[in-house]
Structure 1
Amino acid sequence: MTTTTQGFATIQQRDLVNQIADMLTEALLKGEFSPGVHLSEAQLARDFGVSRAPVREAARLLESRGMLVSQPRRGFFVRTFNADELDDVYDLRLCLERHAVRLLAGKLTAEMEAALSHQLETMRQVARDGTAVQQIEEDVAFHRMLCEFSGNQRLVRVFDELCHEMRFCILLIGQLYDDAMRVADTHEPILEALRTRSPDAGEAALDYHIGVAQQRVVEMFRERTQG
């Protein structure tokens, strides 16, 4: 009986940690904490109405996702990035998605194609009516589908972890999608290439799509951080 009670207590505590981590992530992505700012455990604990322990665990989780950094005896700080680090994020992302597209190209089903087409239309809708944060989220969702449909679930998990950094970096730039509809439309060639069932065509379309995005985003990030 004692073991069962302790098990439930652990689950409840872990759920609390994840809830705090999710709320902190949302605040970071909305720019409520500036790069380099110190996050006070005591203040956050008061804000959330909890003890400091789950706040500390949530901060450690965000540190593992590349959004916070810790300093001995000083606590946690919002991570700062440089252009070279962002370039590395895109390089790794390209490696993951290349593999995903090659796995997916030969087994694209009608249901997968329909889901990707629907997501593309969602991106266009958000480009017309949504916020910058929504545009980024729907963009990421399209690329996550490529990884998910590849059938490699470990690849999906790595993609998810990497995208925490990528979203954060993009939002540090500010208004990235000055022509959000054009950005949404650039995903169409990836879907067209997948329809050919050719791994080479899929990889080539993805290389071009992410390569252009990588160059643009990294250049904007370099200009912003040097400005």
Structure 2
Amino acid sequence: MRVKSQLVGLPEVVESDLVRQVARSLSAAIVEGRLRPGTKVSEAAVARELGISRAPVREAARLLENQGLLRASPRRGFFVRELSAAEVDELYDLRICVERHAALAASCRLTQKTRAALREQLALMDALARADDPAACIEADYQFHRMIFEAAGNSRLLRVFDGLSSELRVVIGLIGRLYDDPMKLARAHVPLLEAIEAGRADTILAEVDHHLGVARREVGLLVQSLSTGAALP
């Protein structure tokens, strides 16, 4: 007897730009943890839940495969990508390198406008944490860091960061599970922005190393626990 796939709360979609809407819905379910690492994404089940045909679901899955969120297995379908502890460590190794450079450059080029935009983003993160909106918190966290790269004024550096976007959203989603109080995660970004505003290179580098170093360690431990079958937070 076949057991139907469990519903994961995907929102209803409309016809326009259907493939991208399905991709966004699946992406949100992945980064929020509703679709766990290693879970099979059944085209039939997703199509049935959304009330659409399987074709756009298949195309959306291929799109997410290209973005690194899903992996395809011959004759078995698509599965939510599992990041190993080694992959998380490599990701943070690269991220710390580029974010150190971006934070220093952003500090040198900081204007009243970019400072205000970063402050507004922190306020948004705080508000979303109060509203208990995990998906929006993940996106706001990602966008805060991307804004630092934009402020750095180096388009190639920004493209490097954008190339890590899918994996970073998954990792940020994992970080969210480490905090009992989402306000702590939102406010953990305040010292980093204050260091960039102050403009002291040694303080900026220390804050980047601390901010990302803590996440690197804790996410690595979480991924290891997941790989051994321990209960998810």
TM-score, normalised to structure 2's length? Answer: 0.77
Secondary structure of the 1:106 match is helix
The more displaced of 105-114 and 182-191 is 182-191
Conserved in 2, the CA contact under 8 Å of 1:144 and 1:159?
Answer: yes
Alpha carbons of structure 1 residues 157 and 60: separation in structure 2 relative to 1, 3 Å = farther
Q: Deviations over 1:96-125 (max 9, x none)?
A: 212211221211001111111222222233
1:95 pairs with 2:101: no
Q: Deviations over 1:64-92 (max 9, x none)?
A: 22211111222211122222222222222
Task: State the one-letter code of the partner of 1:222.
Answer: Q
Whole-Å Cα distance in 2 between the matches of residues 154 and 54 of structure 1? Answer: 33
The corresponding residue for 1:178 is 180
Give the total of aligned pairs. 215
Secondary structure of the 1:215 match is helix
The corresponding residue for 1:146 is 148
The corresponding residue for 1:21 is 23
The corresponding residue for 2:164 is 162
Unaligned runs of 5+ in 2: 1-14
Secondary structure of the 2:71 match is strand
Could you tell me how far 1:188 is from its partner in structure 2?
2.2
Alpha carbons of structure 1 residues 223 and 45: separation in structure 2 relative to 1, 3 Å = closer
Task: State the one-letter code of the partner of 1:194.
Answer: I
The corresponding residue for 2:227 is 225
Percentage of identical aligned residues:
48
Could you tell me how far 1:173 is from its partner in structure 2?
7.2
The more displaced of 19-28 and 214-223 is 214-223
Secondary structure of the 1:73 match is coil
Alpha carbons of structure 1 residues 222 and 47: separation in structure 2 relative to 1, 3 Å = same
The corresponding residue for 2:42 is 40
The more displaced of 151-160 and 210-219 is 151-160
**Which of these two proteins has the greater Rg computed from alpha carbons?**
1
Secondary structure of the 1:56 match is helix
